[in-house]
Amino acid sequence: MNTFDFTISIDKFVEDLDVIDAFYARCDDVSMFNADGVTRITFHRDAATLDEAIRSAVSDVQSSGFKVKQIEVEPECVGAAERSGCQPQ
């Protein structure tokens, strides 16, 4: 199992602490923050592949009522994915 770091920007600017707390209760491997008028969620997701990590994170985001606007993958994760034979889709 590897840990992959990436950030998902969502469609809503989230300031409601109850909403933030609910998301943290759902995902214990995230940091949620607001910058430049956008809410971003950084994941530190354990998974066999980068693709699996991203798919599970997107599922968590969507299940919480948000839409994914953008996914940013840390460069070192891409290298790890290539070394493990994973090709993100």
CA distance linking residue 38 with residue 53, whole number of Å: 22
Helix (H/G/I), strand (E/B), else coil: 14: coil
Judging by beta carbons within 10 Å of its beta carbon (0-12, 13-18, 19+), is residue 66 exposed, middle or buried?
A: buried
* pLDDT band for position 89 (cuts 50, 70, 90): very low
- Give 3-47 pLDDT, tens digit per residue: 999 999 999 999 999 999 999 999 999 999 999 999 999 999 999
- CATH top-level class of 2-83: alpha beta
